[in-house]
Chain A
Amino acid sequence: DIQMTQSPSSLSASVGDRVTITCQASQDISNFLNWYQQKPGKAPKLLIYDASNLQTGVPSRFSGSGSGTDFTFTISSLQPEDFATYYCQQYDNLEVTFGPGTTVDIK
């Protein structure tokens, strides 16, 4: 099984801050890495697919990078609506695994 880790598990930030979350896979997953945003009581929303591609309709302040085992998700200027939990997710060799999540809250 491929295991995913995320860091930090939570962070506090202010509106306008640059936020970076990292995700690490236990083995090489190429670029089969997606990022989701989940707000309380809502289903997750796909933001980034294949490590660096912005899903249609998602603001350009969100970005992703990386390949192999190490990936980064960035919010360039945090907005009030961005306070949420973010998950990475890999798909490789038929199986799917989610990272444990990173909660971004207000400082």
Chain B
Amino acid sequence: QVQLQESGPGLVKPSQTLSLTCTVSGGSISSGNYYWSWIRQPPGKGLEWIGYIYDTGNPYYSPSLKSRVTISVDTSENQFSLKLTSVTAADTAMYYCTRDHPEVTNAYDIWGQGTMVTVSS
């Protein structure tokens, strides 16, 4: 059973870059045509899709975050990562990594537990 685990700093200063990693266990990130995604949730608010990388090589980002986001894959480490530049307090959120259903594109049936990132000086 594939499992996902987010990791990274819990505190980032304004204007700096938020960097998170999602480690995939129980399966290879290279197997299958999956969408590996990042989704975030500000405290007390709803879910916001950040972007995905498809089949380990093709990223696509939310238009509202596109200028600041990079999602990439490291197949040797069985990980994918998120970088968000020029962060502000509005980027404070729980960040989840996900994988989609093997038969349904972008229906997220596997989620990490989430990692809370606070943007503050």
The contact of B107 among A43, A49, A100, by CB within 8 Å, is A49
| B113 interfacial by beta-carbon distance below 8 Å | yes
CB pair B111 A43 closer than 8 Å: yes
Interface residues of B in 31-73 (CB under 8 A from A): 37, 39, 46-49, 52, 60, 62-63
Q: A74 in the interface, Cβ–Cβ < 8 Å?
A: no
Which stretch of B16-24, B76-84, B98-106 is in the interface? B98-106
Q: Please, which residues of chain B bring their CB within 8 A of the CB of A43?
A: 96, 111-114
User: Contacts A91-B105, A96-B49, A98-B49; is A44 near B62 (CB within 8 Å)?
Assistant: no
List B contacts of A46 (CB < 8 A). 101, 107-109
Query: Is A98's CB under 8 angstroms from B111's CB?
Result: no
A81: chain B residues at CB < 8 Å are none
The secondary-structure label for the interface of chain B is strand
Smallest CB-CB separation from A53: which chain B residue? B104
> Which residue in chain A gives the minimum CB-CB distance to B111?
A43
A55-98 CB mask vs B (1 if < 8 Å, else 0) is 10000000000000000000000000000000101010011111
Q: Which residues of B contact A32 (CB under 8 A)?
A: 106
How many residues belonging to A are interface residues under a CB distance threshold of 8 Å?
A: 24
| Residue among B49, B106, B114 facing the most chain A CB atoms (10 A cut-off) | B106
Docked-complex contact B113 and A98, CB < 8 angstroms: no
Q: Is the interface of A mostly helix, strand, loop or mixed?
A: strand
| A99: min CB distance to chain B, Å | 8
**B residues in contact with A99, CB < 8 Å:** 46
A→B interface (CB under 8 Å): 1, 32, 34, 36, 38, 43-46, 49-50, 53, 55, 87, 89, 91, 94-101
Q: Give chain B's interface residues, CB within 8 Å of chain A.
A: 37, 39, 46-49, 52, 60, 62-63, 96, 101, 104-109, 111-114
Q: List 28 A-B contacts (CB under 8 A).
A: A34-B104, A34-B106, A34-B107, A36-B47, A43-B112, A43-B114, A44-B108, A46-B108, A46-B109, A49-B101, A49-B104, A49-B109, A87-B46, A89-B47, A89-B107, A91-B105, A91-B107, A94-B60, A95-B49, A95-B60, A96-B49, A96-B52, A96-B62, A96-B106, A97-B49, A98-B47, A98-B48, A101-B46
